[in-house]
Amino acid sequence: MKKIRKCASCGSYTLKEECHNMQTKSAHPPKWNPFDKYADIRRKEKGISR
Ligand SMILES: [Zn+2]
């Protein structure tokens, strides 16, 4: 099973190990990410559903 990876440079998801000459990072999120939580609150305040 292939893991989905994310390019930190362009932000696109890929199955490749590299993108834009950079090593991609695993797109699987950690159990708890404070940045994600705050981002979610910020999106709700602005009314952006995404
Ligand atoms: Zn890229």
Segment 8-47, tens digit of pLDDT = 999 999 999 999 999 999 887 666 666 666 677 777 777 7
Ligand 1 centroid – CA 8 distance (Å): 7
Q: Which CATH number fits the domain that encloses residue 40?
A: 2.20.28
Q: How far is CA 48 from the centre of its chain?
A: 18
User: What pLDDT score was predicted for residue 42?
Assistant: 73
Reading the block at residue 39, the tokens are: 């981002």
Name the CA radius of gyration of the chain, rounded: 13
User: What pLDDT score was predicted for residue 48?
Assistant: 64
Ligand 1 centroid – CA 19 distance (Å): 4
Overall number of domains in the chain: 1
Ligand 1 centroid – CA 40 distance (Å): 24
Ligand 1 centroid – CA 13 distance (Å): 8
pTM above 0.75, yes or no: no
- Is the pLDDT higher at 45 or at 50? 45
Domain residues for 14?
5-46
β-strands 22-23, 25-26 pairing: unpaired
Judge contact between 20 and 9, C-beta under 8 A: yes
